[in-house]
Amino acid sequence: MEKLWTGRSSGALDEYADRLNSSIGVDSRMYKEDIAGSMAHAAMLAKTGIISPDEGEALIEGLGGILDDLNSGALEIDGAAEDIHSFVEAELTARLGDVGKKLHTARSRNDQVAVDTRLYLKGECEKTVALIKDVIGALCHVAEDNKAAIMPGYTHLQRAQPVTFAHHLLAYGMMLARDIGRIEDAEKRMMGECPLGAAALAGTTHPIDRAMTAKELGFAAYSLNSMDAVSDRDYCVELCSALGILMMHLSRLSEELILWSSWEFRFIELSEQFTTGSSIMPQKKNSDMAELVRGKTGRVYGDLTTLLVMLKGLPLAYNKDMQEDKEAVFDAFDTAKLCLAVFAPMIAAMKVNAGNMLQAAKGGYINATDLADYLAKKGVPFRAAYKLTGQIVADCAAGGKALEDLTLAEYKAYSDVFEADLYEEISLQACVAKRTSAGGAAPANIAAQLEYLRGITDD
């Protein structure tokens, strides 16, 4: 296939140079977007009189035929083509002759690939957001079923205060909700400026209508600086950053699932659909899917680093280094979407062992804060209440007792302010129910959190 840049040179490249230069293996997935951009460009060329109406109609019909044939499988993308833009234009020219050669008037591959990539990533954003909503939905479903399941909340991986399993899961729901916001914000900026019409870097001498193509392709406006338009890859970096944060959240939840499903915790049991066994130890049920999500997080971080390092030393305007943008950002989306697709059903199918959670909550003196609060409500200064409670905990730990095991007489030996009502105050159920401050663990707050998250998934 003849290179688009044949003329200044013969277009002949060394075999390995040609392989290094080629991007068809990566950008062929953008064929729909490339054809959509070309159709809009052809319509604009005809409307502005740069080509005739008949030529514009022929180009649009020819492009539509190529799209139909690619979708049906009647036409296969030639792997020997330099890129998807070269392939489509060559196929169009083969079908239309000299008319096909007019498509590239007032356009460069620099602005063409910039618009193709934005249009393609818009679709990736929408697919990813839908998958995130599926995970949030699964978290809400399990949380609804476990609103009363008390478990120890942790700080420093040490038992801290009692919460519910619902409260814990919904914390991840809130993280994922922010991930949706980040992706949608980045998408809005990406689709705010259409680069088509910037040409190679300086614009064109033809009387094009950039507002027309921007509107036709779903952009809010056209880019105001042609050099920026062809060299901007901020949107790739921003999207990879948002995906990196998303993967970090999935990785943190993966770590919890791995811990919770271990024999040391046994808070949950993952379905056999999302675990594997050992090749040598027949008793094993490994949380491999969660571990792989945790591992693939590093891969998305690598994609982000690739983009940042690739861009950091580039002068304006377009440089061939930028061809590496698509492989990185496409991989980041592919990886995140795969992990999300596994995560939603994995969460939905897991078995929750509420009894084991409650048993764990009964240890570790996680109601000590409530005992100190009890004293403070009786008029003891909180710092003095804190110190006295710490002494009681130390004595109980030495004696192998829980706070609930001490008699009222034993409590009064520490302070006369203790009364029989203290036992209700330090019960785990009461400890959770009393956390009524906004966002706390109390049932009313859980209901509000569920309503908020379901509002996001229902959008």
Question: Which residues form the catalytic set?
Answer: 156, 278
Rounded CA-CA distance 44/209 in Å is 7
Rounded CA-CA distance 128/123 in Å is 9
Read off the amino acid at residue 43. A
Strands (E), 85-157: 150-155
313 Cβ contact list (under 8 Å, min separation 6): none
Question: Crossing angle, helix 165-190 and helix 234-260, to 10 degrees?
Answer: 170
Read off the amino acid at residue 75. L
Distances (CA, A) of 452 to 92, 136, 141, 431, 459: 50, 11, 13, 24, 11
Q: What are phi and psi of 162, to 5 degrees?
A: -75, 135
Contact 129, 184 (CB under 8 A): yes
Rounded CA-CA distance 340/439 in Å is 26
Rounded CA-CA distance 250/291 in Å is 10
DSSP letters for 254-318: HHHHHHHTSTTT-SEE--GGG-B--SS-TT--B-HHHHHHHHHHHHHHHHHHHHHHHHTTPPSS-
Strands (E), 149-270: 150-155, 158-164, 268-269
Helices (DSSP H) in 312-427: which residue ranges? 324-349, 354-361, 368-377, 382-399, 408-414, 422-425
Contact 165, 352 (CB under 8 A): yes
91 Cβ contact list (under 8 Å, min separation 6): 66, 75
Q: What H or E segment, with its residue span, contains residue 115?
A: helix 109-145
Give Cα 131 distance to the centre of its chain.
Answer: 9
Rounded CA-CA distance 245/343 in Å is 16
Give the chain's largest Cα–Cα span: 101
440 Cβ contact list (under 8 Å, min separation 6): none
